[in-house]
Amino acid sequence: MAAAGVQLHPACRVRQEEFGLLFYDSRGPRLLFAETGTMLPAEFFAVARGKRELPEGLAEREQEKLEKFVNLLLEKDFLREQPLC
């Protein structure tokens, strides 16, 4: 059985802003502003990846913060879980 990963929902878009990331859900429309600064680039969500797979070089506290953020995106349906190939 393949491991579960996360990927941006097909109806959602993300773009880099000065404050961090802006998520847009065309099913709503809904917006989500994320003050991530430069910790997490918008391109991060372009491919499916493991739920805990985060950019390298982050402090432990930043990693914990981003893991919670990924879970929030799943709860809000901006991300969806799917098998990793």
Q: How far is CA 78 from the centre of its chain?
A: 8
52 domain-assigned: yes
18 domain-assigned: yes
9 domain-assigned: yes
Q: How many domains does the chain have?
A: 1
Handedness of CA 32, 44, 5, 48 (dihedral sign): positive
The pLDDT of residue 51: 77
Q: How confident is the model at residue 77 (pLDDT cuts 50, 70, 90)?
A: very high
* Residue pLDDT, tens place only, 17-76: 999 999 999 998 899 999 988 888 899 888 888 877 888 888 999 889 989 999 999 999
- Residue 31 belongs to what domain range? 4-78
Q: How confident is the model at residue 9 (pLDDT cuts 50, 70, 90)?
A: very high
50 domain-assigned: yes
Full DSSP string of 10-58:
TTEEEEE-SSSEEEEETTTTEEEEE--TTSS-GGGGGS-EETT---TT-
85 domain-assigned: no
Residue type, 16: Q
83 domain-assigned: no
